[in-house]
Amino acid sequence: MSTRYDVIVVGGGHAGTEAAWAAASILGRDGRVALVTMDPSRIGTMSCNPAIGGLGKGQIVREIDALGGMMGLAADASGILFKVLNSSRGAAVRGPRCQSDKYAYRAEVQRLLSRQHSISVVAGRIDRLLVDSTGAIEGVLVPPGGGLVEADRSVLELNRCRTARAQPVFPPEPLEADRFVEPTRLLARSVVLTTGTFMRAIMHTGPTTTEGGRAGEGSAVGISGMLRELGFELGRLKTGTPPRLLRGSIDWEDLEPQFGDPQPIPFSDLTDPESFPELRQVDCRLTRTDPSSHELIRANLHRAPMHSGAIDAESGPRYCPSIEDKVVRFPDRDSHHVFLEPESLFCDEVYCNGISTSLPADVQEHVVRSMPGCSAAEILRWGYAVEYDMVRPHQLDATGMTRLVRGLFLAGQINGTSGYEEAGGQGLVAGMNAARLALDLPLETLSRDQAYIGVMMDDLVTRTPREPYRMFTSRAEHRLLLRSDNADQRLTDWGHERGLVDEVRWSAWRSRATELERIRALCEQRVAGAPSVAELMKRQDQTPEAISRVCSARWGIDFPSSLLDRVVTEYRYEGYIRRQASEVKRQRRNESMRIPRELDPQSIHGLRNEARDALRRYRPATLGQAGRVEGITPADLTLISLAIRGGGGVAPRTR
């Protein structure tokens, strides 16, 4: 039995949902997208910290939104604490972040998906990828028991009340009548694989190991074997999550509160500021670890698989270390901060931000109980480490498609990244290109000077991450250009041209663009005896409020502060942006020079062996990308460029 789709997405996490959404946007009404996942009721789950955005990550969420994606909308609908990080600093390094009600977030993602009629949700565990004789993907095989599921309309109604914990829109499994009775082939020219932490996943809490990628869920064993058979080089990574506590058992009121911004700003350009925020806003609390627990951790390191070497993974994230890592790496500190973050408005789960751990339960209990305010804390769920298979991303192009199997796209943690935002950004790129491939359109990439997503895709394919890759603003050399305030300016027209952005979002952006032009023109106007507003804007001592007052005094117009602030930022960064822009222009020639697939590194005369190996491994798509690959020097680049121009290697004539 088989069913034909345009695009099949495997996995319902943050990568998979954005991929399905982007593909559906591009394919339009007649498109057919299948989203296959083990448990549809868990689509859009926040597996770890129920937070969206942050430094570098908030910019990605804004980019996903500017490109028509879901993440910003879901965050706005579910946020219970909004805060712009680095708000005292310049616009380029501000990172919008929110903590979400994790049930509301998941329900919103599912609600949005249920509105896209071209997306069919299929329950099922994929163990086989179907590849044709030419090495192109054909589809996936769903074992019996899987089947199509439908959104539950009554749950959608119920969730609109927001008076109780939001329920999953999709059922965990198909109705009996909808189950496949035999192995079923889902066929498509494009398959996007987003396995998250589920490929050959093992969870560790002390000596206890459980097969599975997330608490209470299974593991996908077949896929990684299949990928290995297809010739992919796999790696193994590990990450961890902290214990969850029962709020009622914490002396909440005794702890120092951490508040959100008094005037929260939504992520999405489509969110109506009038009805935002939709949910009641809360605060989180600050506590800390105790010296006695550091002692205990040191004495029990051999029991922490994350640390003792029991986990067969290369590396965990250094920017998000487990508490045992922190204790070892910073022996002179006898305390670390722990943020207690509510996971939902309607349940009592609290996330302990700062003590991700794989230590056994008895040690975890001591660590938690010795934190101020937590002496009687009840632990709802133990912290655990999870190890999982990944595909080394140098085997991809920046389009998200693998070079080995035409039509197979990978996105999210399978590529060695970490974070919902990183996953969502990759999902969007992969989903867009999966749809483009299905439509016989050329694949597209975002450039490093265009978006953080472009920086990420380029980083992934030009270097092998030593640890789960997460975004930092310092990864973007064009940071001053890639701001969260101008994501629409950078991407919405681009997304509209490619069918990612609908007319509603696009026309809203066009009217903002017109308004921005008007502000810029007025600001440049010379006024006798007084500086132009543009001149005022360049001065660091002029606050945006003061500038706004000048504007209303001069022209009697009150510009929206978000647009006025953006123009102020443009003027403040002007000189630097001009410098960066000239750098961008300089690099563009190399970026646009494609390295043909068939170019054989061996045929490039005079190339050093290290450079040949690097070329073979990373297969850079352009000369510019080759320049960023480890092991390729500027001199090598010259030879490669000569070889491209010569239509092959430039061989010396032997006489």
Integer Cα distance of 508 and 583 in angstroms: 31
SS3 assignment, position 209 = strand
Stretch binding another protein (CB under 8 A), from 101-109, 312-320, 507-515, 516-524: 312-320
Stretch binding another protein (CB under 8 A), from 327-335, 390-398, 432-440, 504-512: 327-335
Q: What x/- string results for residues 444 through 463 when contact with another protein is judged by CB under 8 A?
A: -------------------x
Residue 642 sits in the site that holds another protein (CB under 8 A): yes
Residue 333 sits in the site that holds another protein (CB under 8 A): yes
Tell me how far CA of residue 8 lies from CA of 4, 120, 200, in angstroms: 9, 9, 21
Question: Two tokens at 372?
Answer: 């101020």
Integer Cα distance of 73 and 68 in angstroms: 10
Running DSSP on this structure, what letter comes out for residue 378?
Answer: P
Determine contact, residues 22/108, Cβ cutoff 8 Å: no
Residue 631 sits in the site that holds another protein (CB under 8 A): no
Integer Cα distance of 414 and 232 in angstroms: 12
When binding is defined by CB under 8 A, the residue of 11, 13, 16, 56 that contacts another protein is 56
Q: Helix 634-645 and helix 609-618: axis angle, to 10°?
A: 70
Determine contact, residues 323/297, Cβ cutoff 8 Å: yes
Which has the closest alpha carbon to 123: 189, 160, 168?
168
Nearer to another protein, 86 or 489 (CB): 86
Nearer to another protein, 264 or 354 (CB): 354
When binding is defined by CB under 8 A, the residue of 586, 597, 598, 609 that contacts another protein is 586
When binding is defined by CB under 8 A, the residue of 576, 594, 602, 613 that contacts another protein is 576
Integer Cα distance of 99 and 49 in angstroms: 8
Half-sphere exposure (CA, 13 Å, Cβ side) for 574?
A: 11
When binding is defined by CB under 8 A, the residue of 19, 26, 46, 55 that contacts another protein is 55
- Cβ 577 to another protein shortest distance, Å: 10
Which has the closest alpha carbon to 73: 107, 40, 41?
107
Residue 328 sits in the site that holds another protein (CB under 8 A): no
Residue pointed to by tokens 């509160």:
257
Nearer to another protein, 160 or 578 (CB): 578
SS3 assignment, position 58 = helix
Stretch binding another protein (CB under 8 A), from 52-60, 266-274, 407-415, 506-514: 52-60
Stretch binding another protein (CB under 8 A), from 186-194, 198-206, 499-507, 603-611: 603-611
CB atoms within 10 A of CB 645: 10
Half-sphere exposure (CA, 13 Å, Cβ side) for 131?
A: 16
- Cβ 536 to another protein shortest distance, Å: 17
Residue 92 sits in the site that holds another protein (CB under 8 A): yes
- Cβ 267 to another protein shortest distance, Å: 17
- Cβ 237 to another protein shortest distance, Å: 16
528 CB-near residues (< 8 Å, 6+ apart): none
Site for another protein in 473-512 (CB under 8 A): 473-477, 479-480
Q: What letters, b where the CB count within 10 A reaches 16 and e where it falls short, cover 480-501?
A: bbbbbbbbbbbbbbbbbebbbb
Nearer to another protein, 69 or 373 (CB): 373
SS3 assignment, position 352 = strand
Determine contact, residues 461/615, Cβ cutoff 8 Å: no
Stretch binding another protein (CB under 8 A), from 103-111, 118-126, 224-232, 335-343: 335-343
Distance of CA 403 to the CA centre of its chain: 22
- Cβ 642 to another protein shortest distance, Å: 6
- Between strands 119-123 and 95-100, the pairing is unpaired
- Cβ 581 to another protein shortest distance, Å: 10
When binding is defined by CB under 8 A, the residue of 330, 497, 525, 616 that contacts another protein is 330
- Cβ 374 to another protein shortest distance, Å: 16
Nearer to another protein, 167 or 464 (CB): 464
What φ, ψ does residue 229 adopt, rounded to 5°? -60, -40
Residue 89 sits in the site that holds another protein (CB under 8 A): yes
Nearer to another protein, 92 or 491 (CB): 92
Contact footprint for another protein (CB under 8 A): 54-56, 85-86, 89-90, 92-93, 95, 97, 317-321, 326, 329-330, 333, 336-339, 353-354, 463, 472-477, 479-480, 540, 572-573, 576, 578-580, 582, 585-590, 605-606, 608, 628, 633-635, 637-639, 641-642, 645-646, 650-653
